[in-house]
Amino acid sequence: MKKERKIISQIFMAIMLLFFYAPIIYTVVFSFNGNKSLTHLSGFSLKWYEKMFSSSDMMSGIVYTVLIAVIATIVSTIVGTITAIGLSKSNNVLKTMVERTNDLPIMNPEIVTAIGLLMFFSSLGIKKGFVTMLLAHIMFCIPYVMLSVTPKLRRLDPNLADACMDLGATPFQALIKVIVPQIMPGIISGALIAFTMSFDDFIISYFVTGNGVNNISIMVYTMSKRINPSINALSTIIILLITIVLVLINIIPLIKERKQVK
């Protein structure tokens, strides 16, 4: 009876995992397809990878995606951390006010945030393109950084910075040498979240961009109207990179643990 139940649950898990990975396996397999079909395989070829690297549209999409993700991550991590530290010393009114406002882009459907920004940039007469996309990404990344930094600050001993300054450190030194190192794990996870949010964003980018500035998501969306297996090649590279990073992140602590046990 117990064994039966175990087998049933294993079969169920296997089916669900197949469901999760079917599109990923499909993408990888068809990126090596010898012909243009998205449904029939014929032979192994790397021509879609060649096509991808020789397509200036796709390469510029990749460059914009990475560039915006890197700048947005750096800016939002710094600003988010500074603001979170400032708020931790502020009164509760300001704190709740900022937290509630930060909730807006997180809780609102992305399309609502997107059209708000679209109208905002247009009414200011800012030309849609790289700058608007970057500003939008910084805007929606900062709340996530603050969400991951604030809990770390709450656990920080408030006397630490005071003690540091009593010993003659300037406020800036206290900040850099005492507070920031203590909340580093929160800052790093915030930066990671910001990077992936920016890298994967489609809806907001799609509404606020213009002048041929596209990221990978917009490219996939506009190209999906025609058959284009180069998308599969690009996707496969992204899948490979993300898998390597995630596996490394998850395996390194395990290896460290094992070494300590020895």
Partner 1 sequence: MKQFRNMAYPYVVWIAIMIVLPMLLIVMYAFTKKGNDVTTFRFTLENFTYFFSDPIFIDVLERSLVIAVLTTVICILLGYPVAYIIANANPKAKTMLVLLITLPMWINMLVRTYAWMGILQDDGVINGILGYFGIAPIKMLHTSFAVVLGMVYNFIPFMILQIYTSLTKMDKSLLDAANDLGANKLQRFLKVTLPLSLPGVISGITLVFLPAVSSFFIPKLLGGGQYVLIGNVIESQFLTSGNWNFGSAISLIMAIIIMLSMYIAKRVDKDTSAKTGGAK
For partner 1, give the closer residue by CB, 113 or 148.
Answer: 113
**Of 18, 59, 63, 111, the one binding partner 1 by CB under 8 A:** 111
**Of 43, 250, 255, 260, the one binding partner 1 by CB under 8 A:** 250
Question: Is residue 108 near partner 1 by the rule CB under 8 A?
Answer: yes
Residue 132: CB minimum distance to partner 1, A: 11
Question: Is residue 92 near partner 1 by the rule CB under 8 A?
Answer: no
Which residues within the stretch 118-157 sit at the binding site for partner 1 (CB under 8 A)? Answer: 118-120, 123, 135, 139, 142
Which residues within the stretch 161-180 sit at the binding site for partner 1 (CB under 8 A)? Answer: 161-162, 171, 175
Residue 98: CB minimum distance to partner 1, A: 6
DSSP conformation letters of the chain: -HHHHHHHHHHHHHHHHHHHHHHHHHHHHHHTBSSS-SS---SB--HHHHHHHH-HHHHHHHHHHHHHHHHHHHHHHHHHHHHHHHHHTS-HHHHHHHHHHHHHHHHS-HHHHHHHHHHHHHHHTPPSSHHHHHHHHHHHHHHHHHHHHHHHHHTS-THHHHHHHHTT--HHHHIIIIIHHHTHHHHHHHHHHHHHHHHH--HHHHHH--TT---HHHHHHHHTTS--THHHHHHHHHHHHHHHHHHHHHHHHHHHHHHHH-
**Of 21, 59, 160, 166, the one binding partner 1 by CB under 8 A:** 21
Question: Is residue 109 near partner 1 by the rule CB under 8 A?
Answer: yes
Question: Is residue 94 near partner 1 by the rule CB under 8 A?
Answer: yes
Question: Is residue 89 near partner 1 by the rule CB under 8 A?
Answer: yes
Q: Which one of 49-57, 105-113, 126-134, 181-189 is the stretch in contact with partner 1 (CB under 8 A)?
A: 105-113
Question: Is residue 57 near partner 1 by the rule CB under 8 A?
Answer: no
Question: Is residue 45 near partner 1 by the rule CB under 8 A?
Answer: no
